[in-house]
């Protein structure tokens, strides 16, 4: 908890949301549910496909696999060479789609440039699409149906739900309109009956739009974009952005989209790192478990 004066001069305690602690709680619940499912003879399993040798992707895949181990989910990693063609990836997806012992399929992005990510995503069975990127899951999200929800937006909502019980009529501003963060998180906020504005690089007078928001979700990948004087006193600020920048001693640092050091007047903010990031992996595991439970229930 840090304290600071609001614009009206009243002291407001800004709460730094601890994404690591919340993610650990979710993993604990997942672990308990995994054990329960194993007692029914089902071992939840996630297949992770990594094509190419992108170093960041290798780190992400390693983390996902380590998290699976913590919760008792079986993970199987498929490494394809950078020269792998689309047919090879599609054949593997097809095999995993038909394998009853596999409940979730994750294709680590980006794929090598010769492979169409859309074609690969479309080939994954929607009920095994634990990233929630398949058009069927995108459609279910926008019609309020029972699909699989993309992990980062799901994690954001779990953080917000810890603070907000009634979203009705609240103004929510989402910065960024990507398919993996901006659009799905906007749909989830809309589902809870917030009044949602989606903004992007071409939006005019972004500060004025952000100033009326009760909830700000920044997913632009523009370090330090959202300044303290853009944020209304008492707003909740979720910083999704992660940009790796070089620092003088030859190391790198992760920087978010929001200057939370200027936001003592906010109600709550997420730090980078340690805010949304850990929630994404926790929600991937939760989605894998959900897929396995649904398969077991028939
Ligand atoms: P993207 O590049 O696909 O989309 C960025 C969006 O932000 C676009 O709609 C663009 O119009 C908008 N934008 C960019 N600069 C802007 C500006 N100056 N003003 C207003 N809008 C602007 O990015 P993405 O995949 O949605 O990711 C966004 C950020 O979130 C990145 O930093 C990414 O690393 C991070 N991210 C984090 C997690 C996590 O787990 N924490 C997961 C996914 C993405």
Residue 175 is labelled as binding a ligand: no
**Ligand 1 shell residues, CB under 6 Å:** 152, 175-178, 180-182, 199-201, 203, 206, 219-222, 225, 240-243, 276-277, 280
For position 10, what pLDDT does the model report?
47
CB 203 within 8 A of CB 183: no
Burial of 288 from C-beta contacts in 10 A (0-12 / 13-18 / 19+) = buried
Neighbour tally for 229: CB within 10 Å: 14
For position 12, what pLDDT does the model report?
55
| Spatial distance between the Cα atoms of 163 and 161, rounded to a whole number of angstroms | 5
| Spatial distance between the Cα atoms of 254 and 142, rounded to a whole number of angstroms | 32
For position 14, what pLDDT does the model report?
87
The three-state (H, E, C) secondary structure of 196-209, written as one string: EEEECCCCCCHHHH
Cα distance from N-terminal residue to C-terminal residue, the chain: 46
Residue of 64, 178, 238 to test ligand 1 pocket, by largest number of atoms within 8 Å of CB: 178
Tokens 């739900």 sit on residue: 161
How is domain 151-277 classified at the architecture level of CATH?
3-Layer(aba) Sandwich (3.40)
For position 4, what pLDDT does the model report?
40
How is domain 41-126 classified at the architecture level of CATH?
3-Layer(aba) Sandwich (3.40)
For position 11, what pLDDT does the model report?
54
pLDDT along the chain (298 residues), means of 10: 42 85 98 98 98 92 96 97 95 98 97 95 98 98 96 98 97 98 98 98 98 98 98 98 92 96 98 97 98 96
Residue 183 is labelled as binding a ligand: no
CB 81 within 8 A of CB 108: no
Question: Would you kindly state where each structural domain of the chain is located, as residue ranges?
Answer: 41-126, 151-277
Residue 38 is labelled as binding a ligand: no
């Amino acid at each position: 908890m840090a304290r600071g004066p609001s614009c009206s001069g009243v002291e407001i305690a800004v709460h730094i949301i601890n994404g690591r602690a919340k993610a650990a709680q979710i993993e604990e619940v997942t672990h308990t549910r995994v054990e329960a499912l194993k007692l029914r003879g089902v071992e939840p399993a996630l297949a992770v496909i990594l094509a190419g040798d992108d170093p960041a992707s290798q780190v992400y895949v390693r983390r996902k696999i380590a998290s699976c181990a913590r919760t008792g989910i079986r993970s199987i990693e498929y490494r394809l060479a950078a020269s792998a063609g689309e047919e090879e990836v599609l054949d593997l997806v097809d095999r995993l789609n038909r394998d009853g012992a596999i409940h979730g399929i994750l294709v680590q992005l980006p794929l090598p440039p010769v492979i169409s990510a859309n074609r690969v995503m479309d080939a994954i069975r929607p009920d095994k699409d634990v990233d929630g990127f398949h058009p069927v899951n995108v459609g279910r999200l926008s019609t309020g149906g029972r699909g699989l929800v993309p992990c980062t937006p799901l994690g954001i909502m779990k953080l917000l739900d810890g603070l907000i019980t009634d979203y009705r009529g609240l103004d929510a501003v989402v910065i960024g309109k990507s398919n993996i963060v901006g659009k799905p998180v906007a749909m989830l906020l809309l589902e809870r009956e917030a009044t949602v504005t989606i903004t992007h690089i071409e939006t005019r007078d972004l500060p004025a739009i952000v100033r009326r928001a009760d909830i700000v979700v920044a997913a632009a990948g523009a370090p330090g974009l959202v300044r303290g004087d853009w944020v209304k006193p008492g707003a909740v600020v979720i910083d999704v952005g992660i940009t790796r920048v070089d620092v003088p001693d030859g190391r790198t640092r992760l920087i978010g989209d929001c200057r939370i050091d200027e936001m003592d007047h906010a109600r709550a903010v997420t730090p980078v790192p340690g805010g949304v990031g850990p929630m994404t992996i926790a929600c991937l595991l939760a989605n894998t478990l959900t897929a396995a439970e649904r398969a077991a229930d028939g």
